[in-house]
Amino acid sequence: MLSRQHRNSSSRAVSRVERWILSRSLTFCLAGAATAFSGCAYTGGVKEYIHNGFKVGPNYAKPAAPVATQWMDDYDEQIKDELPNYADWWTTFNDPKLNSLMEEVSQQNLTLKSAGLRVLQARYVRAIAVGSIFPQKQTGSGSYQRTQYSETIAAGLLPRNTDLFRVGFDSFWELDAWGRFRRGIESADASLDETVEDYDAMLVSLLGETATAYIDLRTAQERIRFAKANEKIQQGSLELAKARFTAGAVSKLDFTQSETVLANTQQLIPLFESQIRAANNSLCVLLGIPPRDLTEELGDGFIPDLPADLVVGIPANLLRRRPDVRAAERRVAAQSAVIGIAAADLLPHLSVTGSISLVANDFSQLFKSGSSAGTIAPGFNWDILNYGRLANNVNLQEALFQDLAVQYQQQVLDANAEVETAINSFLKSKVRLIYVGKAVDASQESVDLAQIQYKTGAVDYNRVFNLQTSLVSDQDNLAVVRGDVARSVVATYKALGGGWEIRNGIRRGAGASNIEQVPVPPVEQVDPVPGEDPNPPSGAAKPKAANGAEDAVLPALQPEANAPEANAPEADVPEANVPEANVPEANAPEANAPEANAPEADAPEAPAQDANGQGVNFRKVLLPEVRVEEL
């Protein structure tokens, strides 16, 4: 009796100890969660948690970026700061074949199609992120089990053969109490935006490369024309020197000098032909076709007309114009959301596990109400004693965020410098063009005079030799400088981020052929007008400092400082021929992934035409049809 009482008292004591340990454990867990949640430097406080839409971690605000208030060469009348139209800037050259080339490249380039497919990939990644906010595991199951016991075990107490039928549904749901999954959707949204901007940046780069390759082709053709014209003149001089040498009027030196200058000119022709072939092959690759001779489509032409001025807007436009700058900003936004994901790992993972099933020994009883069974089990998992791994992961993500923010600011600086360099190159190349043109005119007149005087014996052939050599150099330099001016125009509009709008169907319109064409600026514009103030007017636009820099960005790209999700810019990805796919839009609500409703559009069958109605039809290579739906 005493022994039984002792055992009962011992059991009660053990039960009290177990309850005390359990209560203290729960108290410590809840106190730890409250402490970590309310005052932790990694997760923020309760007010911040509520203000952020019940999510831990920082809300994204676009970092400030340094932008100049005006261009360094803004004083020059050839630089216009009015609102430009960059959509099809290449129409300023008034070259129908170049216009057609640009349209074809925007439709056929394989690198661009690859960039379009990466947009689709990002859409699918976002759709996966949206799905993670719902129950992460839902499993339907069914089974049948037949068991035969041994007669020894059954022994008349149990039926020897039993059947067990089961049909059930199991579910596991980790609740998004701390915003971990919603931050994942924010990051996926920003990453999707980044791929769209990368697509636009690729389009801008390819259009610039196409225009540059076309100008290289025309420059080499013009250099060949100059070389062949000089070859013809020098052949006449050779015949004259040979005749005079045969007649004994001059020594053989005149004949050999004429042979030298002719051979030096002739050796330039294969060099320029090689340059034509290189530019031709570059255009083929950009068009997405195997290398072949494009003479049938492009013919033998001249360097495109040079625009009289450049419409460049103001430097602050770079923040919303250049896709690579916008892509860098979107990378910062994506990383900001990752900080919240890392911070959520410091807190308990709250979850609910449940199951519903029908169980019966007889199949006829399986679907009756008495066969139902189920469980529900809320719980939590909390990573403790992680030896600083989780906290340092938050620190790591914050350091990566700071790194990307600095890279974004550097990208803005680089973009500004690229435009400044291209603008200055345009202005200085046009100045060079003035003097080179004068040198060519003087050289041509000198050669004509020297040949006349040589025929009469007034000068020796050495004077003719030197002047013909100078003429070849000056004319070749003229073609090179004209090409440099055209390439500087391309570089300027490329640095300004122009051209990606054509994927939205935006074009300058029929007025493209009416652009004023002035090959060479007037002489008085070589240097700034004396007494002219090179500084900008007091009313010039200036970017806001610090947090006000966000105002220099397109509204569609400007996320609110406390918005729970980063908004994606509305963007239409041009068709790049990819299998149809229904993917969520970049700006879709968190929990929903609506299909993209963009209408499908097939590439135009007719060649692109400019304002003059002249187009070039390039033979296409049969490739797998791929289509990228619009965002």
Taking 80 as the threshold, does the pLDDT of residue 554 lie above it? no
Read off the pLDDT of residues 441-480 as tens digits, 9 standing for 90 and up: 999 999 889 888 888 888 888 888 888 888 999 999 999 9
pTM value is: 0.72
Contacts 24+ apart (CB under 8 A), 208-212: 208/490, 208/491, 208/493, 208/494, 208/499, 209/282, 209/286, 210/101, 210/102, 210/105, 210/283, 210/286, 211/90, 211/93, 211/98, 211/102, 211/490, 212/487, 212/490
The pLDDT assigned to 284 comes to 95
What residue spans define the domains of the chain?
75-133+180-346+386-527+565-631, 135-175+348-381
| Residue (of 210, 191, 213) closest to 111 by Cα position | 210
3-state secondary structure of 534: coil
What distances in angstroms separate CA 188 from CA 60, 562, 564, one per listed residue? 14, 18, 13
Among 150-159, 198-207, 231-240, 563-572, name the most confident range.
198-207
Mean pLDDT score, 376-383: 90
Which parts of 302-456 are beta strand (E)?
Answer: 310-311, 349-360, 372-381
The pLDDT assigned to 83 comes to 65
Mean pLDDT score, 149-157: 73
Question: Between 616 and 258, where is the model more confident?
Answer: 258
> What single-letter DSSP state applies at residue 154?
H
The band of 84, judged by pLDDT with boundaries at 50, 70 and 90, is: low
Lowest mean pLDDT among 239-253, 320-334, 417-431: 239-253
Lowest mean pLDDT among 21-35, 40-54, 129-143: 21-35
Question: Between 601 and 269, where is the model more confident?
Answer: 269
Question: Between 33 and 93, where is the model more confident?
Answer: 93
Taking 50 as the threshold, does the pLDDT of residue 7 lie above it? no
> What single-letter DSSP state applies at residue 458?
S
The pLDDT assigned to 490 comes to 92
Q: Cα separation of 600 and 578, whole Å? A: 11
Taking 90 as the threshold, does the pLDDT of residue 335 lie above it? yes
User: Hey, do 75-133+180-346+386-527+565-631 and 135-175+348-381 end up sharing a CATH topology, with the first three levels equal?
Assistant: no
Tokens of 577: 């021929």
CB-based contacts of 184, cutoff 8 Å, min separation 6: 129, 132, 337, 341
Taking 80 as the threshold, does the pLDDT of residue 506 lie above it? no
The pLDDT assigned to 194 comes to 95
The amino acid at residue 80 is K
Q: Cα separation of 224 and 269, whole Å? A: 6
Q: Cα separation of 158 and 559, whole Å? A: 70
Q: Are strands 349-360 and 79-80 parallel, antiparallel or unpaired?
A: unpaired
Q: Evaluate whether 438 touches 366 at the Cβ level (below 8 Å).
A: no
Q: Are strands 79-80 and 310-311 parallel, antiparallel or unpaired?
A: parallel
The pLDDT assigned to 529 comes to 35
The pLDDT assigned to 156 comes to 67
CB-based contacts of 2, cutoff 8 Å, min separation 6: none
Taking 90 as the threshold, does the pLDDT of residue 283 lie above it? yes
Q: Evaluate whether 37 touches 43 at the Cβ level (below 8 Å).
A: yes
Q: Cα separation of 71 and 49, whole Å? A: 44
Chain mean pLDDT for the chain: 76
Assign domain 135-175+348-381 one CATH number from 3.30.70.120, 2.20.200.10, 3.40.190.10, 3.60.20.10.
2.20.200.10
Containing 142, the helix (H) or strand (E) segment is strand 137-148
| Residue (of 334, 368, 356, 6) closest to 184 by Cα position | 334
Q: Evaluate whether 350 touches 380 at the Cβ level (below 8 Å).
A: yes
The pLDDT assigned to 249 comes to 78
CB-based contacts of 212, cutoff 8 Å, min separation 6: 487, 490
Read off the pLDDT of residues 203-239 as tens digits, 9 standing for 90 and up: 999 999 999 999 999 999 999 999 999 999 888 888 8
Question: Between 357 and 25, where is the model more confident?
Answer: 357
Q: Cα separation of 127 and 110, whole Å? A: 26
Largest CA-CA distance found in the chain, in angstroms, rounded: 153
Query: For the CA atoms of the chain, what is the radius of gyration?
Result: 38
Q: Are strands 310-311 and 349-360 parallel, antiparallel or unpaired?
A: unpaired
3-state secondary structure 73-101: CCCCCCEECCCCCCCCHHHHHCCHHHHHH
Read off the pLDDT of residues 395-408 as tens digits, 9 standing for 90 and up: 999 999 999 999 99
Q: Cα separation of 452 and 457, whole Å? A: 9
Taking 90 as the threshold, does the pLDDT of residue 184 lie above it? yes
The pLDDT assigned to 292 comes to 92
> What single-letter DSSP state applies at residue 584?
B
Taking 50 as the threshold, does the pLDDT of residue 534 lie above it? no
The pLDDT assigned to 593 comes to 38
The pLDDT assigned to 370 comes to 84
The pLDDT assigned to 15 comes to 55
Read off the pLDDT of residues 514-526 as tens digits, 9 standing for 90 and up: 333 333 333 333 3
Q: What is the DSSP string of 337-367?
A: HHHHHHHHTTS-EEEEEEEEEEEESSGGGTT
Tokens of 260: 């030298």
Handedness of CA 605, 606, 607, 611 (dihedral sign): negative
Angular region, 307: left φ>0, alpha ψ -120 to 50, beta rest: beta
The pLDDT assigned to 355 comes to 92
In the chain, pLDDT over 90 holds for what percent of residues? 39
Question: Between 251 and 212, where is the model more confident?
Answer: 212
Q: Cα separation of 537 and 68, whole Å? A: 14
Q: What is the DSSP string of 512-527?
A: GGG--B-SS--GGGSS
Q: Cα separation of 493 and 486, whole Å? A: 11
In the chain, pLDDT over 70 holds for what percent of residues? 72
The pLDDT assigned to 479 comes to 93
> What single-letter DSSP state applies at residue 370?
G
Tokens of 622: 């049969």
CATH code for the part of the protein at 75-133+180-346+386-527+565-631? 1.20.1600.10
Q: Evaluate whether 501 touches 321 at the Cβ level (below 8 Å).
A: no
The band of 597, judged by pLDDT with boundaries at 50, 70 and 90, is: very low
Taking 50 as the threshold, does the pLDDT of residue 551 lie above it? no
